[in-house]
Structure 1
């Protein structure tokens, strides 16, 4: 397919990065979105496929990007980015193909909800093309202070914790153990208002999270491990995703 295009939808095109210039553009967008002092890049970039969402009506401006690391099964999960922060030994027995999604970001000046829809459409196309059975990664809350997110974390505790057979264990030195510390009943409206859009989408499709959040002071975020078993996505959600792809 020309230029490794995954999806054309409306004004947006989703494609795989093919050149060093493509990767450089993604790293620059990540740097701007994450507001880091240095260029956002690491050793995992060379191992991943990078998805670029471009605005065809604005001279192919890059408006969103993320990267994908494909694994044959759970035995390879220790080689991914998330394994630096979480003990993922419970997932070693997962037998299907997996993909770790990371560094997801949208241009700070763009608020069009179609960008997120196209990004998920591109992810769906990639999952279909590569026979992926589990999608996972780290979902981030901005900043490292927990107070503003307590309803969101309470909601995660009450409704969205990982099945015990897959539950990640603590590995990072600085974590917020919301599943054991929070006793509050979540305010659903406040919880969803404070939930990051990417995580909200994971949850709507049946995704689940770790029972603790990692405090990542390097990226100035709180993040939770997030998993989504493709076979568990509700049929209505699958149809919506296929509509975007189609």
Structure 2
């Protein structure tokens, strides 16, 4: 898998007994009755049923969040910014990786879903590299992206994306006074998978977290491959050495649950397990994140997904010091 990848489940992978966001859109569009029990998995939603991409408000936050050299991290504010993030995701997930695109994604060559219209999108732009299109002025290249979904937005629309694979309701209920932020759909163009790019993305997230007074982050992270036995070492390490406390521990949906404790604690070599983990998951661990109970195999994307949660209070002090308590280190 890509060294920097956190995709999250697709709507097509949801439990058929629970209406997907597409099913809710069908109801709203009057295109047919969609009730629990109807299996809409694998159905490709026509583009007209997706909420339109609108100009994104920044809620008083400067869209440009930080810079390192020629790289800039910023919030997408226009529909065309989001489309550029979708094209980057398509290039990484479908062209570089082994994901199988839906008909709509293949047609538009963009990774598209209904959540794009309600999420905020972080972009890393390289001002030293340009993208040129016929009859258009060259523009700085988008080289990285992350998708952010605040709890208030999730509650107003489709819920959290992660709920398609993990039962997160007990976590939200146990922490009902806290503000959650979902992280997902992250990717970086291959030549830019460097410390600078990752640091800039995290600087953008930290700035966003402080501005919106977020208390905890959650999401899915992916390991490459769909055979849990081949991933026994990293999965067992996360289960035995980085399992979330009960209050924060989401479990894989029963019908999709894959056991993570495939090896005993004594059989796990932590050093070897860390080497086998994707860099993104190692980064989450360094920050202070913990992981859920059970993994989920996503055959469409060729990955095995785990639940990750990171309360802001658990972030290692050295990282807060590194970025600055006010996110001033790489401030624009």
Equivalent position of 2:117 in the other structure: 46
For 1:62 and 1:139, the matched residues in 2 are separated by 22
For 1:74 and 1:211, the matched residues in 2 are separated by 23
Match of 1:213 among 295, 298, 304: 295
Equivalent position of 1:22 in the other structure: 81
SS of equivalent residue, structure 1 residue 219: coil
Structure 1 regions of 5+ residues with no counterpart? none
Q: Is the 8 A contact 1:32 1:108 kept in 2?
A: no
Equivalent position of 1:227 in the other structure: 309
Equivalent position of 1:108 in the other structure: 190
For 2:237 and 2:329, the matched residues in 1 are separated by 28
CA deviation vs aligned residue, 1:210-243 (integer Å, no higher than 9, x gap): 1211101122211111000001112112112327
For 1:73 and 1:207, the matched residues in 2 are separated by 23
Equivalent position of 1:9 in the other structure: 68
The alpha-carbon distance between structure 1 residues 109 and 73, as it changes in their structure 2 partners (threshold 3 A), is: closer
1:91 maps to 2:204: no
Equivalent position of 1:161 in the other structure: 243
For 1:139 and 1:245, the matched residues in 2 are separated by 26
For 1:75 and 1:22, the matched residues in 2 are separated by 24
CA deviation vs aligned residue, 1:138-186 (integer Å, no higher than 9, x gap): 011122123443221122122111111221123163332113x322532
Shift of 1:208: 0.7
For 1:15 and 1:208, the matched residues in 2 are separated by 27
For 2:156 and 2:172, the matched residues in 1 are separated by 7
Question: Which structure shows the bigger proportion of residues in strand conformation?
Answer: 1
The alpha-carbon distance between structure 1 residues 86 and 148, as it changes in their structure 2 partners (threshold 3 A), is: same
TM-score (norm: length of structure 1): 0.90
1:128 maps to 2:210: yes
Equivalent position of 1:238 in the other structure: 320
Q: Is the 8 A contact 2:298 2:304 kept in 1?
A: yes
Between stretches 9-18 and 236-245, larger displacement belongs to 236-245
Shift of 1:190: 2.4
| Alignment map for 1:137-148 (pairs within 5 Å) | 137-148=219-230
TM-score (norm: length of structure 2): 0.68
Equivalent position of 2:28 in the other structure: none
Structure 2 regions of 5+ residues with no counterpart? 1-59, 131-139
For 1:74 and 1:81, the matched residues in 2 are separated by 8
